[in-house]
Structure 1
Amino acid sequence: MTDQPETLLKLLCDKGNLGAEDFVELFDKTAEEVVGKGNRNPTCSVRTAFRWKSGKTRPEALSADTRRVLQAMFARDAAALLAPPPLAEDPSAPAFNLEHEIDMTAREAHDDASGTAAASVSDTSLDQLTDDVASLARAYAALPAIEVFRRGRTLQEELHNQRDRTQIPAQQQRLLVLTGQTMALLAAAAFNLGSFDNARRLARAADLYGESSRFEPLRAYADGMLAYIAYFTGMPAEAVSKARRAQAYGGLGDTARRRLRAIEARAHGYLGDTDSARQALRLSLDAESGARDDLHDGIGGEFGFTPERLAMSNSSTALLIHDAGQAEHSARRALDLVSGKPQAARSAHVLGGAAADLAMARLLANDVEGAVDALTPLWDIPPEQRVTGILVRTGQIQHFLARPVYRTSILPRQLRDRVEEFTRTASTHQLGSVTALLSLEA
């Protein structure tokens, strides 16, 4: 015996040759006639019609106005319409017609496919969003952090809208990855603006998107960001833990591993673990297997880790372990590399950070004049690009020059005052407190 339709509603629609789109049109027309509330009339979509006919909706879940419309359409109350139809043997039940059932099944399959196709987004739109995220990542170094945040927020909203529009799994997957990448850029911008708690929250959001999309390079980047935040907020042990966990993800290229080992090296240096810091520093320089991944290498930019950025990071590690010679060598290399790039491609973060590290290395050797010369590139950095990494370093210089030994000397005092003015006039006005990372007097 052929199975009965799931609901009386489906049976009546089949008998009346009422496809899903026709059903929606009739429902809207009847709602206007019976309810007459204009924009507040109950509505019905193709998917809703399928759900009602398949018996997946309880009558009490419907609004009173919706029940009125259904009763007007079929002269039966909603409870009866959404319940299974009477048995075929019941004389009052409509006769079951196999050929008609096949015809209606084919029609509904076509309607469902049309509805699914409508619930998707253009591949061209996705390609443009992919380009927009990559462009923001690659332009990051040349943009003020607040501008990155604004652009990232706009991208976030657009990606959210597109995710609501599509039911296609492949598109949902792609949008999850793009949203996670955008969250990571927002986290980096929030960090550079000094909003550490929000940067941490955004980095964790990026990690969750990476987990949902099964995109492990994104998870590694997010954990690296969390390690970096922990380092700058006085939690070096957590920074080591996060950096090591990030290195355990699969599918990472050399760039990702260089970045994570450089972060780990600095955290070890902060902890005073010189041997571990030197080992991680060596590993950051030795990551040359040729492996690549789609995020750190494919997109690059802020997701990458350029040679000059590695050199700058390693100069900071050398300062933490009190190796002024290595710090000066690495800082000089970073400055040489960044100066060799076109003006538009130079990172203010690297330029300022390396200049400050070079100055600090010379101050450790009591070379104040050398420190003044090293800081020359710093003064040209616009207020809106004086990010956390630069301001932490200049704060350390200011603190170092406040030592009693320099109080009666003119040049150290002038340099300290100029560094203080540089920090004070940073337009970002750092939102979070920054821990002093160097104990250089020891």
Structure 2
Amino acid sequence: MRERARTLLQLLVWERGWTYDRFRREYEKAARELAAAAGEPPSTATVEEQTFRRWTAGRVRGLPNRPAPAVLEYMFGRSVRDLLSPPNGLAPDPSVKYAPTINESDLAMTARDAAAHAGDAASLSVPDMTLDQLDDDIVALARGYNRTSPVEVFRRAKELLGIAQSMLERTQVPRQRERAYLAAGQSAAVLSAISFDLGSLSAAVSLSRTSALYGQVIEHGPLQAYSHGALAFLAFWSGRPAEAVRLVRTAQQYGGLGDTAKTRLLVIEGRAYGHLGNQAAAERAVRSALDLSTGARDDLHDDVGGEFAFPDDRVAMSNATTYLLLGDADGAEEAAKSALQLVAAKPDGQRPLLISTQAHVDLARARLLRGELDGVQAALEPAFAVPTEWRGAGTLERMAAVRIGLSREPFQGASEAVQLGEQIEVFTSEASANRLGATSPLAIEG
């Protein structure tokens, strides 16, 4: 039984009884004749044995580089696409006696092909220690997020995302690819958070979607939940609180979530309902977040933690904002003070400046609701001392709400209110987020 040709080219070569050496000579001759016919300098085109074997065996994607297509068509009178495709049922010319032969060249080439394929497969991996280092760097960045300059966080997260993407290009080992996708998703999530803090809402949204997609590829529930929670947060910042509720609902459906992840989503849900003016739903979400305690953990929000975590001080700070949206000055002041106490209880060097700053401003906003101008000024003093690079979008938005409140009754025209308003304007104009962001602070948190 005759061996079946894999390509029309192979069939035609067999019919002619050509070895590789004969094919190469005919190829070089055809190339010279084509060049002469075109009035071009003598061609030096040739074909390597490995290339010949790939052509005849059908291991070619697309068309060969020039001048191969023209040369092959000149040699055989068929289109190069047909030559490199299966014979499509064409039988050999019965008048031609041929038999596929196996010679030393075939054996050697087969051995080289096998060795090359094995070598390619072995090279499509990365050292596990490289991925270990990438994991460690992401954990360190996430845990140091609130104590690292936002500009440095952005630079480092961008670098880590590039490394993770490079790992994906270099490895085909499923286990390694899963780790690289997770690292890429985590890096994109950190980039989204810092883009928001630096005042770029559109970049933050795009990066959160990127993170969610990486999580989808590896079906990682906690990463998808975190990313959808971030998108929900960004949705009500864009004036779409109903969309934020929908995104939270989606996030809550992912599997493998621990208490921290679920608490974070409930807090975001409370804020979204606060923007919608749904007091009952907002307060229900706040209570559920505070009461949640099953002991469940996950590998992102708890094991990596840091920016992916949602500790008690952050819960309290965010709940203060929700109470402000509901017009509950007492609830807001209590939550803001709780956040500040929890931050103060942490060791030096571990106190999140972004959280404490926002809590101070929310405390000022609560006092503003009660008409306590002296209390407003006292609450803002620590915030005014924050370096410009730490004045994130969340802080600027809260400050904008205070500024608006100071221009209304009963404070309108009061010298202390005017002076405090001017101080807020200077604070905002100097902020890195205000300089980097494309728009001025939003007003929806007010």
Range class of TM-score, shorter chain: 0.7 to 0.9
Contact persistence 1:210–1:218 (CA under 8 A): yes
Identity of aligned residues (%): 40
Query: Which deviates more, 95-104 or 227-236?
Result: 95-104
Superposed counterparts of 1:275-424, under 5 Å? 275-424=280-429
Superposed counterparts of 1:100-111, under 5 Å? 108-111=113-116
Specify the alignment match of 2:122 in structure 1: 117
Task: Decide whether aligned partners of structure 1 residues 62 and 205 sit closer, same or farther in structure 2, where only a CA change above 3 A counts.
Answer: same
Return the alpha-carbon distance in structure 2 between the equivalents of residues 316 and 416 of structure 1.
20
Which secondary structure does the structure 2 equivalent of 1:299 belong to? Answer: coil
Contact persistence 2:20–2:49 (CA under 8 A): no
Q: Which amino acid aligns with 1:195?
A: S
Return the alpha-carbon distance in structure 2 between the equivalents of residues 366 and 64 of structure 1.
80
Return the alpha-carbon distance in structure 2 between the equivalents of residues 380 and 9 of structure 1.
78
Query: Which deviates more, 317-326 or 145-154?
Result: 145-154
Q: Could you tell me which runs of 5 or more consecutive residues in structure 2 were left unpaired when the two chains were aligned.
A: 22-34, 36-44
Return the alpha-carbon distance in structure 2 between the equivalents of residues 215 and 103 of structure 1.
46
**1:118-162, Cα deviation, whole Å (9 max, x unpaired):** 122221111111122222211211123332222222222222222
Query: Which deviates more, 146-155 or 75-84?
Result: 75-84
Specify the alignment match of 2:57 in structure 1: 54
Instruction: Tell me the CA shift for residue 346 of structure 1.
Output: 1.7
Return the alpha-carbon distance in structure 1 between the equivalents of residues 48 and 229 of structure 2.
47
Return the alpha-carbon distance in structure 1 between the equivalents of residues 46 and 282 of structure 2.
66
Q: Which amino acid aligns with 2:150?
A: A
Q: Between Structure 1 and Structure 2, how many residues are aligned?
A: 417
Contact persistence 1:352–1:378 (CA under 8 A): yes
Return the alpha-carbon distance in structure 1 between the equivalents of residues 59 and 134 of structure 2.
36
Task: Decide whether aligned partners of structure 1 residues 50 and 100 sit closer, same or farther in structure 2, where only a CA change above 3 A counts.
Answer: closer
**1:224-243, Cα deviation, whole Å (9 max, x unpaired):** 11111111121111111111
Specify the alignment match of 2:25 in structure 1: none
Instruction: Tell me the CA shift for residue 199 of structure 1.
Output: 1.3
**1:188-230, Cα deviation, whole Å (9 max, x unpaired):** 1111122112211111111111111211211111111111111
Q: Does 1:234 align with 2:239?
A: yes
Return the alpha-carbon distance in structure 1 between the equivalents of residues 72 and 350 of structure 2.
64
Specify the alignment match of 2:165 in structure 1: 160
Q: Does 1:435 align with 2:434?
A: no
Task: Decide whether aligned partners of structure 1 residues 383 and 341 sit closer, same or farther in structure 2, where only a CA change above 3 A counts.
Answer: same
Which secondary structure does the structure 2 equivalent of 1:136 belong to? Answer: helix
Larger Rg: 2
Q: Which amino acid aligns with 1:57?
A: V
Return the alpha-carbon distance in structure 1 between the equivalents of residues 293 and 93 of structure 2.
74
Query: Which deviates more, 212-221 or 140-149?
Result: 140-149
Q: Does 1:169 align with 2:174?
A: yes
Instruction: Tell me the CA shift for residue 248 of structure 1.
Output: 1.1
Instruction: Tell me the CA shift for residue 362 of structure 1.
Output: 1.5
Instruction: Tell me the CA shift for residue 438 of structure 1.
Output: 5.3
Q: What TM-score results when the alignment is normalised by the length of structure 2?
A: 0.81
**1:18-53, Cα deviation, whole Å (9 max, x unpaired):** 9xxxxxxxxxxxxxxxx9xxxxx999998x888545
Instruction: Tell me the CA shift for residue 253 of structure 1.
Output: 0.9
Which secondary structure does the structure 1 equivalent of 2:239 belong to? Answer: coil
| RMSD between superposed Cα atoms in Å | 3.7
Specify the alignment match of 2:183 in structure 1: 178
Return the alpha-carbon distance in structure 2 between the equivalents of residues 275 and 104 of structure 1.
76
Contact persistence 1:17–1:104 (CA under 8 A): no
Q: Which amino acid aligns with 1:364?
A: L
Q: What TM-score results when the alignment is normalised by the length of structure 1?
A: 0.82
Contact persistence 1:145–1:385 (CA under 8 A): yes
Which secondary structure does the structure 2 equivalent of 1:431 belong to? Answer: coil
**1:271-329, Cα deviation, whole Å (9 max, x unpaired):** 11000000000111122111111111111111111110001001111111122111111
Q: Which amino acid aligns with 1:253?
A: G
Contact persistence 1:210–1:216 (CA under 8 A): yes
Of 250, 253, 257, the residue aligned with 2:255 is 250
Query: Which deviates more, 429-438 or 287-296?
Result: 429-438
Specify the alignment match of 2:30 in structure 1: none
Q: Does 1:189 align with 2:190?
A: no
Query: Which deviates more, 383-392 or 120-129?
Result: 120-129
Return the alpha-carbon distance in structure 2 between the equivalents of residues 239 and 189 of structure 1.
20
Return the alpha-carbon distance in structure 1 between the equivalents of residues 49 and 171 of structure 2.
15
Query: Which deviates more, 103-112 or 404-413?
Result: 103-112
Specify the alignment match of 2:154 in structure 1: 149
Which secondary structure does the structure 2 equivalent of 1:406 belong to? Answer: coil
Q: Which amino acid aligns with 1:391?
A: L
Q: Which amino acid aligns with 1:6?
A: R
Instruction: Tell me the CA shift for residue 2 of structure 1.
Output: 6.8
Q: Which amino acid aligns with 1:339?
A: A
Q: Could you tell me which runs of 5 or more consecutive residues in structure 1 were left unpaired when the two chains were aligned.
A: 19-34, 36-40
Contact persistence 1:88–1:94 (CA under 8 A): no
Return the alpha-carbon distance in structure 1 between the equivalents of residues 85 and 211 of structure 2.
45
Instruction: Tell me the CA shift for residue 408 of structure 1.
Output: 4.0
Specify the alignment match of 2:6 in structure 1: 6
Specify the alignment match of 1:25 in structure 2: none
Which secondary structure does the structure 2 equivalent of 1:343 belong to? Answer: coil
Task: Decide whether aligned partners of structure 1 residues 2 and 90 sit closer, same or farther in structure 2, where only a CA change above 3 A counts.
Answer: same
